Structure 1
Amino acid sequence: MPRDDLPDWLPAWCLDQLGGEPADVLFRVHRLSTVFGLRLAGGQEVVVKARAGDGRAASCVAAQGWLAERGFPCPRPLTPVVAVGSLAVHADELRSGGEVLPGDSPAVAACYAGVFARLMAGLADFDVAPPLPHPRWIRWDHADPGVWPSIGFLDERDQGAVPAYVVDTAARVRGRMLAARLPSVLGHADFEAQNLRWHGREVWAVHDWDSLAWQPEAALVGAASGTFANAGPPTLAPIDSSEAFLLSYEDARGRRFTAVELEVAWAASLWVAAHNARWEALHGAHPATGDALKAQVAERLRRANC
């Protein structure tokens, strides 16, 4: 994109926080955050992230920095989180390169699980205010009325479009996870193939640190076991691959989940799938997750004991 199309606040922000104005725009991506890849006047390449100032960003960036300082493969934050009007803004080093590791086989699942275990171990001793509210797709522990968390732009759509089995699945697994009353920890809640880059089978970069959550370890691991293979539109990994993810995670962490934790992990894999299936139905999209969920739901519910 042309430099002139940058937001008015961004050049002065870069000069103040990074010591140079943007000279070239390498890329711009807009999802929940707006992300600018920039080359500054002095030649430094950076990523500037701007998202709604909902109070989450400072904890997420602090955790990212903690891991980067200890050698975990993630971009190193270059600035603290700075308020710009209603936005929360910070800059990272540009950690480019690497490729998506494709596939949803048990062997690929084991690769992703090893990285997730390393990530969770790295955050275990880090003390930070929980990054609340949780991202919408993982927000099963909400205090809103009804099954789903209150999300205005979804709630205003015709809920009759959502298949009954999706709503029933969400209600059952949410009840199971809430009943477990497991302690919460800090972890990555959007652990998908699209957010990682690899050199062969060696992980090079883990991105999307805006998506941290404060939930039971088993729930975070279970969610990742269902989503790890998402490199585009989301779906649900095969059951044997989710099982391989859980086993490989336990091996890497050096302990086995309890029976209750395993049930919560399987339940969490279904919650994210139900959220994504609801999204598909409300937007009239191809039901990639909905079809996978329908095919797997009985066995996953059995394993979740709900």
Structure 2
Amino acid sequence: MTFDLRAWCAEHLGSSPVDVLYERVSISSVLGLRLADGREVYVKAREDAGRASACLTAQAVLAGRGLPCPRPLTPVVLTGGLAVHAEESLPGGEILRGDTPSIARRYAAVFARLMAELATVTVEPPLPNPRWSRWDHDGEGLWPAIGFLDSRDQSAVPSFVIDTAERLRKRLLATDLPCVLGHADFEAQNLRWRDGEVWAVHDWDSLAWQPEAALVGAASGAFANVPPPSLVPVESSAAFLEAYQEVRGRAFSVEEWEIAWAASMWTAVHNARWEALHGDAPISLEAVRSQAAERLRRAKIGT
């Protein structure tokens, strides 16, 4: 983090850190800290894209209702070009691993609960959407502008990945379904479970403003992700989509089914591009190769 963490904590939390319990640097930097007064907190910092306050407001509303998410302890504070906030620690719980239809239904029930609650939260749309779900960007070209990816040799990305992404994006952009607030990084790595029940849902920085069917579809393909990410089997996405509708108590329209299936593979094509550009093991890439035809068929996307 490129700011004075000790001074920030003293000013905004009333106590200085004495121990680092956790550290992760990715899109955002996350530090788990023990403060001098004995509290354990998490401090998150990310580039200010103008969306952090809306995400934190929604998180605070849900935490106040007793939903399984950490309670924010500060507002978003702009510090040295970064959006910084602190939230309570929710330790414990385990990752629920697996990508079977039965596990898909458990994740879908949690996602449906969160989406129902978010439907009653009013915030400014948290735009732009997270980069891995930003099929709706307004820039030129297929992919959203991501400097450290765009600077690499794009010829490394297989043509079938590009073709699949182009067809998915065209279908997703063609819908006129209304946008809603939803969690766009609903993956196993961001949830913890205890005694068979969800204990904590993390990464509320990753809220998005997209059609409900697209958000549900994306979750249906990515819910099992722990590093390295992949794409769940088609039948598990189907189970997720069906269970979600059952819990919400309404059936998707034909249009929503198609958008859900189109969105179910967008995260995977983004990850396949990442793998190709970084020379990583082609895990998402091979999943896209093997599943593209069936998912495109279900989305009613022709050649």
Global fold match (TM > 0.5): yes
1:60 is displaced (CA, Å) by: 0.7
* Equivalent residue letter for 1:191: F
Q: Which residue, 6, 11, 21 being the options, matches 1:11?
A: 6
Take 2:175 and 2:59, find their aligned partners in 1: how far apart are those partners? 29
Q: Secondary structure at the match of 2:264?
A: helix
CA–CA separation in structure 2 for the residues paired with 1:38 and 1:154:
32
Q: 1:273 aligns with which of 243, 268, 273?
A: 268
Gaps of 5+ in 2: none
Distance 1:55 1:291, change over 3 A: same
- Consecutive unaligned residues of structure 1, counting only runs of 5 or more, are 1-5
The answer to whether the Cα contact below 8 Å between 1:109 and 1:244 also exists between their aligned partners in 2 is yes
Count of aligned residue pairs for this structure pair: 301
- Post-superposition CA distance 1:14-52 (Å, at most 9, x none): 111111111222121111111111111111111111111
Question: 2: CA distance between counterparts of 1:40 and 1:75?
Answer: 17
Deviation at 1:200, TM superposition (A): 3.5
What's the CA shift string for 1:63-87, capped at 9, x where partnerless? Answer: 1111100111000001100111101
- Once the two structures are superposed, the pairs formed by residues 282-301 of structure 1 within 5 Å of their partners are 282-301=277-296
Where does residue 118 of structure 2 map in the other structure? 123
Name the amino acid aligned to 2:63: A
- Write the distance in 2 (CA, Å) between the matches of 1:204 and 1:190: 17
CA shift in 2, pair 1:9/1:162, >3 Å:
same
Deviation per CA, 1:260-281: give whole Å up to 9, x if none.
1010000001211111111111
| Structure 1 residue 148, shift from structure 2 partner | 1.1
Alignment-derived partner of residue 108 in structure 2: 113
Q: Which runs of 4+ in 1 moved over 3 A?
A: none
Q: Distance in 1 between matches of 2:24 and 2:274?
A: 21
The SS at the match of 1:180 is: coil
Structure 2 partner of 1:89: 84
1: distance between equivalents of 2:144 and 2:23?
A: 30
Change (3 A) 1:8 1:185: closer
Asked if the contact 1:138/1:271 (under 8 Å) is kept, the reply is yes
Separation in structure 2 between the aligned mates of residue 146 and residue 87 of structure 1, nearest angstrom: 28
Q: Structure 2: how far apart are the matches of 1:156 and 1:18?
A: 39
Counterparts of residues 15-30 of structure 1 (less than 5 Å) = 15-30=10-25
Report the Cα offset of residue 210 of structure 1: 0.8
> Are the equivalent residues in 2 in contact too, given 1:111–1:201 (CA < 8 A)?
no
Paired residue for 1:3?
A: none
Say which of 37, 43, 51 aligns to 2:32.
37
2:187 — aligned with what?
A: 192
Scaled by the length of structure 1, the TM-score of the pair is 0.96
Give me the whole-angstrom Cα distance separating, in 1, the residues matched to 2:106 and 2:226. Answer: 15
CA deviations 1:228-278 (Å, max 9, x no partner) are: 001211100000000000000000100011011010000001211111111
2:152–2:277 contact (8 Å) kept in structure 1:
yes
Distance between the aligned counterparts of 1:194 and 1:24, measured in 2?
A: 24
Contact 1:134-1:214 at 8 Å conserved across structures = yes
Q: Following superposition of structure 1 onto structure 2, how do residues 247-258 of structure 1 map, counting pairs within 5 Å? A: 247-258=242-253
How many angstroms does 1:7 deviate by? 5.9
The equivalences for 1:211-230 within 5 A come to 211-230=206-225
Q: Distance in 1 between matches of 2:111 and 2:37?
A: 36
Distance 1:103 1:177 in 2: 28
Alignment of 1:259-270 (within 5 A): 259-270=254-265
CA distance in 2, matches of 1:57, 1:67: 16
Per the alignment, do residues 96 and 174 of structure 1 end up closer, same or farther by CA in structure 2, a change over 3 Å counting?
same
The alignment yields a C-alpha RMSD, in angstroms, of 1.0
CA deviation after TM superposition for structure 1 residue 8, in Å: 5.5
Conserved? CA contact 2:33–2:43, under 8 Å: yes
Rounded Cα–Cα distance in structure 2 between residues aligned with 1:155 and 1:23: 40
Q: Distance in 1 between matches of 2:255 and 2:281?
A: 34
